[in-house]
Amino acid sequence: MARLIGEPTLGRPATTVASIVGAVTAPSDDDGPRRPTVADLSLRLSGRLAIVEPLAAEHEPGLIEAATDPAMFQWMPVDMTSSDALRRWLAATLEAGRAGREIPFALLDARTGAVVGSTRFLELRFEHLRAEIGWTWLARPAWSTGINVDSKLMLLDRAFGPAGLRRVEFKTDARNERSRGALLALGTQFEGIFRKHMVVRDGGPRDSAYYSIIDDEWPALRERLQRRVDDHLARLRAA
């Protein structure tokens, strides 16, 4: 179970998107469901394998250290293996957070406290009680460690629990077999291919594969992800 931490922890970044933006609330109807806010999704979450904390400029050194393998960014809009490219990405990401368009996070290894990647909520359509989780990348040494599973567990639990979302969606390049396999293993439902959905770095077209989880499915999926985290912890103890 994730722990919500309201105050900055000693040694942790204090200047965050959440502290700048505050609550960005969509207009609500008196008779409709409560509308989520950016603040509902911006808290620091601490799990057994991962820590998810609002992205801040102070994360830059750790992100630069983590973003060393070009293969990590093969299917992403930006190759962040150069320090300049990562700084540009970080500045743009923090600006999107300050504007309330997205809610970006740094991903940390709970055992060491090291920054190992990033993820975010985007496509915030709170009037429809939905959002997307995307822009996820992890340093190669963090692959298959359970950090991705634990971070998704915490983000989805926050989304479907206190925030009250009804749908969380994911998309990836249709050619990215690793990402598509990970999304299916997460328990998402494949919804189809958006053809020529995006323009990629070389100017060519990208087909996007879409997946989703809805609130009705979450209780069973939550137990499934908790068991996967348990399995990862058991392997760590046995190593």
Q: Parallel, antiparallel, or unpaired: how do β-strands 103-109 and 115-125 relate?
A: antiparallel
> What's the whole-number average pLDDT of the chain?
90
- 143 or 15, which is more confident? 143
The Cα–Cα gap between 91 and 56 comes to 10
Query: pLDDT band at 22, cuts 50/70/90?
Result: very low
> Which pLDDT belongs to residue 69?
94
> Which pLDDT belongs to residue 190?
98
> Which pLDDT belongs to residue 32?
77
Token pair belonging to 81: 């293996």
> Which pLDDT belongs to residue 3?
54
Token pair belonging to 132: 């997307």
226-230 CB contacts, 8 Å cutoff, 24+ apart: 226/153, 228/146, 228/149, 229/47, 229/48, 229/49, 229/146, 229/149, 229/150, 229/153
Token pair belonging to 115: 């920054």
Per-residue model confidence as pLDDT tens digits over 141-154 = 999 999 999 999 99
Query: pLDDT band at 1, cuts 50/70/90?
Result: low
**Region for 95 from its dihedrals, namely left if φ exceeds 0, alpha if ψ lies in -120 to 50, beta otherwise:** alpha
Share of the chain above pLDDT 70, in %: 87
The interaxial angle of helices 218-238 and 147-160, nearest 10 deg, is 150
> Which pLDDT belongs to residue 219?
98
Which class is domain 3-238?
Answer: alpha beta
